[in-house]
Amino acid sequence: MLSKDDIERRLTMWRTVEDALHVFFSAHGFTQVRTPLLVRYPDLSVNLDPMQVRFDCFAPKKIPVEAALITSPEFSMKKLLGVGMEKIYTITSVFRGTEALAPHNSPEFSMLEWYHPAGYEQGMQFARELVNDVLKCQNRWPIIAHADANVDEHGDPHIDEQRFILADYPADQAALARLSKDGKTAERFELFADGFELANGYCELLDGAEQKKRFAYEQWQRKQKGKPVFGIDEELVEALDRIDGPVTGVALGVDRLVMLKYGVGDINDVQLFPAQELWSGEVME
Amino acid sequence: MPSPNDIRKGTVISRDGGLYVVVDFQRVSPGKGSSFVRTKMKSLATGKVKEENLKASENMEFADVLNKNMQYIFSDATGHTFMDGMTYEQVAIDKDVVGDDVKYLKEGLEVIVVTHDGKPIALDLPGKIEYTVKHTEPAVKGDTVSGNVTKEATMDNDLIVRVPIFIKIGDVIRVNTQTGEYTERINR
């Protein structure tokens, strides 16, 4: 365990960042919401490995339930939009299996996610302002099209900018985003800072039928890869048709924002219970 | 078959007909892409360094290397000398093999020396190393609210690290050798 002084120091870093977030969202008329960590229908993306949970539910007789921990609060957030909420945000733990123990990764981390009525460009601008506000900096975050960023086969851009927004992803890399008018790219963007992804945003797809088709395709992809195939969240699909667009949603890694704010290079050096010590089983020198 | 996830500092990769020693690596799991290992490797033939992203699912070919636990003893003009604690055998390692990591060395430090064909090619430091603070100015009353107040401290091996203001002379701290940053104070 860390010493009390170290715990308090790390807590202060988190509190400073979280306070700035709450102040920013409150000033822009957002409502903070709460979403479940345990769900029946997790994200279906073939690149994600939701952690599966089995338990017995007594309702009123014993029913075994197959569930998973969320990889992001996205589905629940969109259901809230479906009942008419407009500007919402949450800060929650999320869980990702097969996430390597590495300086920027942890199987459990904190995610900030927000949704607001905004088009694509407006959504990017808001994300940029939010991050600059928390970091107390004036970074330009230039927008660079995916096609111009020398992106390698792993999705890693190779350009000279230190902090930038990578935009206009190929249509097949954004199952939950709206397509551009010409249908060639998706309205998806990511904020990159100092060599890692900080935030991922979509101008959201709000067409239930189309979403269902994309989910079915993802199920097929998962099956091909031998990964567990989860069901389609019908409540989410129905909610999409009830949302007035455009809506932009962004997910941001809060641990990484804390790291950026304080110039810390390793996620384990900002967490109170460092993932490496929880999971690697490796005894530090 | 090893995969890029098995890569560490000092791993020798056989690639494109040549041998490369990994000098640095970083695992990256993009939010919505497949994970990969950003790898910096040095050609054993030419000494040239190149960076490559290796897909985590890719099959790799590793060359045979010998990993030996050794202790750092001293440095002189010819290089840095390490000793095998079991056999007392001593090995001098070229300065350019150790590179910037020299600042982390302290007497008695246990490291892994990687040898290939009998030649030391890399040093694998522990991820975190403990040092005793030899000198630092006492804390000054001031802004402790923002959480990032640090000061300079000199370790027992002359390594200089930014530390939080509650650190005092004689404290033992842990330093992250990947980032060069203060990690935590050790409770004694």
pLDDT digits (tens, 9 = 90+) for A63-76: 999 999 999 999 99
* Most B-contacting residue of A96, A134, A154 (CB-CB within 10 A), to test interface: A154
Q: Tokens 């949970």 appear where?
A: A53
- Contacts A99 to B, Cβ<8 Å: 29, 35
User: CA-based Rg of chain A, rounded to a whole angstrom?
Assistant: 19
Specify the higher pLDDT residue, B37 or B187.
B37
- pLDDT at position A35, please? 98
What gap in Å lies between CA A182 and CA A167, rounded to an integer?
A: 15
- pLDDT at position A109, please? 95
SS3 B99: helix
Q: Whole-prediction pTM value?
A: 0.87
Give the tokens for residue A154.
């792993």
Q: Tokens 């033939």 appear where?
A: B45
Specify the higher pLDDT residue, A79 or B28.
A79
Contact A3 B184 (CB under 8 A): yes
- pLDDT at position A6, please? 94
pLDDT, one tens digit per residue, over A105-136 is: 889 999 999 999 999 999 999 999 999 999 99
**φ and ψ at A131, to 5 degrees?**
-65, -45
Residue A284: is its pLDDT beyond 70? no
Q: What letters, b where the CB count within 10 A reaches 16 and e where it falls short, cover B15-24?
A: beeebbbbbe
User: Could you tell me if A197 lies within 8 Å of chain B, comparing CB atoms?
Assistant: yes
Q: Which residues does B76 contact at the CB level (< 8 Å), separation at least 6?
A: none
Average pLDDT over residues A162-182: 90
Instruction: pLDDT band for A160, please (50, 70, 90 cuts).
Output: confident
Average pLDDT over residues A140-148: 93
Note the ipTM here. 0.78
Q: Which residues does B104 contact at the CB level (< 8 Å), separation at least 6?
A: B125, B129, B157, B159, B175, B177
- pLDDT at position B2, please? 81
